[in-house]
C-alpha cells in the first residue's frame, strides 16, 4: 500500500556525485523500472534524501520535515518521476538502516545496481565514527523487528520509559533545560546501557543526526514530545 500523495516543491540545488555515501540498501520498485534507496544528505544535519535510479535517469528528493512534501534536490523530471514513485520508494526504504556504502552509478538490463569505484570517502569524520561504532550496530539490533526493519515506535516507547524513571531527567525538566540537551542526555545514557560504554557529547549528537536521517520527521519525535514540560 502506498503512503499518501505529497506535493512536490521546486529548488535549484545541485547534486554532487560521491563515491561513498551513507545510504540504505537499494530496493527494486514496481511503479517504475528502477531502484531506490534512502540517503543522508552530506552536511545536511539529519536531512534524508530519497534517490531513484533508472537505466537512463536519476532523481533525488529530500523530505520537508515540517510538511512532508518532497523537495527536488537538483533537477527532477516530474513526467518520469511522479509522486507515486517516491511514495513507493519512501514506503520500501522506511526503517531500513543507514550504512556507509559505495554510491550507485546506474542499473543494468536486469536492474542490478552498478556501484561507483571506492576511490574517495566524502563522509564526515564524525559520521564515520558513528557508523563504525559498536554503539550504532548494537542500538540498531536492539530495536530491529522480525522483518529486519528498525522499529521506531519500539525505540521511542523504550526511551520514554527509560527517561520517566530517571531522576536526572526529571531534574533537567524542572530546571527547564533545553530540549535538545535533555534528548542528548537520554540517548547517551541509553547507549551506555546497551553497550556498557561511554561516548562524548559530540558523538551522541552525530549519532542522533544519523538516526534522524532514517526517519522523515525525527527519529525521536515521540521521545521529544514526552520530554517537553507540561503546560
103 shares its domain with 152: no
Residue 114 and residue 62 share a domain: yes
100 with 191, same domain: the answer is no
Tell me which residues of the chain have a pLDDT lower than 50.
Answer: 1-18, 109, 111, 115-123, 125
Contacts of 80 (CB under 8 A, 6+ apart): 32, 54, 57, 59
In terms of domains, do 43 and 85 share one?
Answer: yes
* One domain for residues 148 and 97: no
* Whole-number pLDDT of residue 126: 62
Do 112 and 148 fall within a single domain? no
117 and 135 part of one domain: no
Helix axis angle, 201-212 relative to 134-142, nearest 10°?
A: 50
Q: Which of the listed residues 98, 122, 146 is the one where a domain comes to its end? A: 122
Q: Are 144 and 194 in contact (CB under 8 A)?
A: no
- Whether 66 and 94 map to the same domain: the answer is yes
DSSP assignment letter at 84: H
pLDDT at 15: 37
Locus of grid cell 530517571:
166
220 located within any domain: yes
Cα–Cα distance, 71 to 59 (Å, whole number): 11
Q: What is the pTM of this model?
A: 0.69
- Domain residues for the domain of 186 are 127-227
- Give residue 85's pLDDT: 92
What's the pLDDT score for residue 42? 63
Compute, in degrees rounded to 10, the torsion defined by CA atoms 99, 102, 105, 106. -50
Amino acid at each position: 500500500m502506498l503512503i499518501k500523495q505529497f506535493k512536490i516543491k521546486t529548488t535549484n540545488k545541485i547534486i554532487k556525485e560521491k563515491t561513498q555515501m551513507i545510504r540504505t540498501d537499494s530496493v527494486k520498485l514496481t511503479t517504475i523500472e528502477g531502484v531506490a534507496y534512502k540517503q543522508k544528505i552530506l552536511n545536511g544535519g539529519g536531512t534524508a534524501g530519497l534517490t531513484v535510479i533508472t537505466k537512463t535517469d536519476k532523481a533525488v528528493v529530500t523530505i520537508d520535515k515540517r510538511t512532508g512534501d518532497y523537495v527536488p534536490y537538483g533537477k527532477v523530471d516530474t513526467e518520469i518521476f511522479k509522486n507515486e514513485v517516491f511514495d513507493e520508494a519512501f514506503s520500501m526504504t522506511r526503517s531500513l538502516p543507514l550504512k556507509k556504502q559505495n554510491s550507485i552509478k546506474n542499473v543494468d538490463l536486469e536492474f542490478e545496481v552498478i556501484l561507483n569505484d571506492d576511490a574517495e570517502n566524502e563522509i564526515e569524520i564524525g559520521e564515520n565514527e558513528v557508523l563504525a561504532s559498536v554503539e550504532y550496530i548494537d542500538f540498531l539490533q536492539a530495536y530491529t523487528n522480525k522483518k529486519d526493519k528498525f522499529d521506531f515506535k519500539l525505540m521511542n516507547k523504550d526511551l520514554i520509559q527509560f527517561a520517566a524513571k530517571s531522576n536526572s531527567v526529571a531534574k533537567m525538566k524542572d530546571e527547564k533545560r533545553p530540549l535538545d540537551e535533555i534528548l542528548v542526555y537520554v540517548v547517551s545514557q541509553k547507549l551506555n546501557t546497551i553497550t556498557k560504554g561511554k561516548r562524548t557529547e559530540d558523538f551522541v549528537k552525530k549519532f542522533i543526526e544519523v538516526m534522524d536521517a532514517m526517519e522523515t520527521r525525527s527519529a525521536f519525535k515521540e521521545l521529544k514530545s514526552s520530554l517537553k514540560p507540561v503546560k
